[in-house]
Amino acid sequence: MHHKTIAELAACLRRGEFTSTDLTRRYLARIECLDPHLNSYISVDPEGALAAAGHADVRLGRGEGGPLTGIPIAHKDIFCTQGIKTSCGSCMLDSFIAPYNATVVERLEQAGALVLGKTNMDEFAMGSSNETSFYGPVRNPWDVRRVPGGSSGGSAAAVAARLCAAATGTDTGGSIRQPASFCGVTGIKPTYGRVSRYGMIAYGSSLDQGGVIARTAEDCALILQAMAGFDPRDSTSVERPVPDYPGGLDTDIVGLCIGVPEEWLGTGLDPGVSAVVTAALTRFEAMGARVEQIRLPHSPLCIAGYYVIAMSEASSNLARYDGVRFGHRCQEPADLTDLYRRSRAEGFGTEVKRRIMIGTYALSAGYYDAYYLKAQKIRRLIADDFRRAFEQVDVIMGPVAPTPAFLLGAKTDDPVQMYLGDIYTLSLNLAGLPGLSIPAGFSADLPVGLQLIGDYWDETRLLAIAHQWQQTTDWHRTAPDFEP
């Protein structure tokens, strides 16, 4: 039963083929057996999950509930969950038990989904390989010698290995789409402001956006339907009606105009990835779409602009972890300065410290105009590039990452090379646009995703295109032969 999609599981639960308790026990058994080899979970809550499954079975027995009732999911450990540790992958929050639920957690619980546990992640979402976690790296179920991507690598690995039906994630610069590509699953980052950030621990506040990693576009639509919508507790949440995402999946794509950025298909793109993307575009043409080349002339500037903005915002957001109010506190500090210094030095990992230092420098007097202000101007130019592109085309497609999943440790000593791996994903976060990664093929037996980019609030179209793709292909049904 763990090989079924959410839509299939929901139908089986309603027909009484098995119960939510049966399904939950299956996932918990798989987690216990397989996850020690993947490290995709930080916390597992068997008692809470089984109790919630029991309540779901009662509702299902009465013919009540919705499409997510009784479905076991996982949350990225960046979302606050009442009574369950929320660590953000950091020693700093290793002992933090959130006193409330994030809006995303709250809404999915109201929709009937139950929580198996919290998934591993790069510390404070800072990383592209899930190797910066205080709890150790996550391994890719397609090849345990390789990374699953980051920062939502635990969520992607858990979905790919069938250790949950779906998982939440966050995307600050590609952290849903890149791990979805590396692990051969589907992941969507909505438009900035579509999903509430309340209770989602901040990294880069103007960039972070919650989303979904699941097996299929249909499953993503079901989860996003429950997650999305205005939240008065989040000042960045946009008061805008939420469309019927599942209801829009059957939209025909004949006549769709696809734009392909010429800047994305040149030097630096792995030949195997290029071949998969080219084959996917050819297939879309056969399905009735039209492909045109477009220009995003400022996209080469996105890495520099993004990392100045993201690190500056991280420097500000992480200032609250001072060893006084909550989080890690050093032992026997000599004075207040020593308390601050040692608590932060002990609580944060190397990559987080690096980003705090760079961000603090960029915001400092004398450098603000030269770095942070200039980066914001680049952001505007990138957004304008997309605005002009969407005057010509309906959707933009291209690679998610320059390569398939790379070996563990291959880039940990070279942060610049790690950052360069985000070249195709960062610009969406700078512009606030929605993006989606779908399984599109393999390169050297490793999954490769195709990235779909829509105009603002165009998640319905992206999900429909992905769904139509998945009606004619079976890449999303291919599972890793993961037997440790």
Mean pLDDT by runs of 10 across the 484 residues of the chain is 96 97 98 98 98 98 96 98 97 96 98 98 97 98 97 98 98 98 98 98 97 98 98 97 97 96 90 97 98 96 96 96 91 95 97 96 92 96 98 98 97 91 96 98 97 98 98 95 74
Q: Which of 406, 394, 405 is nearest to 452 (CA)?
A: 394
> pTM of the full predicted structure?
0.96
Distance CA 377, CA 383 (A): 10
The whole-number pLDDT of residue 484 equals 65
What is the per-residue pLDDT across 445-461, written as a single tens digit (0 to 9) for each? 999 999 999 999 999 99
Amino acid at 1: M
Beta-bridge partner residues of 138: none
**Rg (Cα) of the chain, in Å, rounded?**
21
Bond from prior residue into 151 cis (ω within 30 degrees of 0):
yes
Distance CA 4, CA 12 (A): 10
Beta-bridge partner residues of 84: 81
Q: Which entry of 151, 152, 196, 299 is annotated as an active-site residue?
A: 151
The whole-number pLDDT of residue 482 equals 73
Q: Which entry of 40, 43, 76, 87 is annotated as an active-site residue?
A: 76
How far, rounded to the nearest angstrom, does the alpha carbon of residue 176 sit from its chain's CA centroid? 2
Coil, strand, or helix at residue 280? helix
Query: Which two structure tokens, joined as six digits, stand for 122?
Result: 């790069």
The whole-number pLDDT of residue 267 equals 81
Residue pair 448/441 in contact (Cβ under 8 Å)? The answer is yes
Proportion of the chain in helix, strand, coil states, percent, rounded to 5 = 40, 15, 45
Distance CA 34, CA 109 (A): 26
Distance CA 121, CA 38 (A): 12
Distance CA 8, CA 63 (A): 17
Task: Please give the share of the chain, as a percent, with pLDDT higher than 90.
Answer: 96
H-helix or E-strand containing 350?
A: helix 350-363
Which whole-number Å values give the CA distances from 203 to 88, 168, 171, in the listed order?
10, 16, 10
Distance CA 54, CA 48 (A): 10
Which whole-number Å values give the CA distances from 439 to 140, 232, 260, 342, in the listed order?
15, 35, 18, 44
Query: Phi and psi (nearest 5°) for 222?
Result: -65, -45
Query: Which two structure tokens, joined as six digits, stand for 256?
Result: 């769709």
Coil, strand, or helix at residue 81? strand
Question: How many helices and strands, by DSSP H and E, does the chain display?
Answer: 15, 11
Distance CA 293, CA 308 (A): 30
Residue pair 462/434 in contact (Cβ under 8 Å)? The answer is yes
Written as one string, the DSSP assignment of 382-435 is HHHHHHHHTTT-SEEEEESSSSSPPBTTSSTT-HHHHHHTTTTTHHHHHHT--E
Query: Which two structure tokens, joined as six digits, stand for 174?
Result: 């590609």
Q: Which entry of 40, 87, 128, 175 is annotated as an active-site residue?
A: 175
- What's the sign of the alpha-carbon dihedral 376, 377, 378, 379? positive
Query: Which two structure tokens, joined as six digits, stand for 319?
Result: 């200032």
Coil, strand, or helix at residue 185? coil
Distance CA 481, CA 150 (A): 22
Query: Phi and psi (nearest 5°) for 8?
Result: -70, -40
Domains and CATH numbers, the chain: 1-484 (3.90.1300.10)
Alpha carbon dihedral 329, 335, 336, 337, in 10-degree steps, equals -100
Whether residue 151 lies in the annotated active site = yes
Strands 114-119 and 210-214: unpaired
The whole-number pLDDT of residue 98 equals 94
Task: Give the burial class of 187: count Cβ atoms within 10 A of its Cβ; 0-12 exposed, 13-18 middle, 19 or more buried.
Answer: buried
The whole-number pLDDT of residue 215 equals 98
Query: Phi and psi (nearest 5°) for 356?
Result: -60, -45
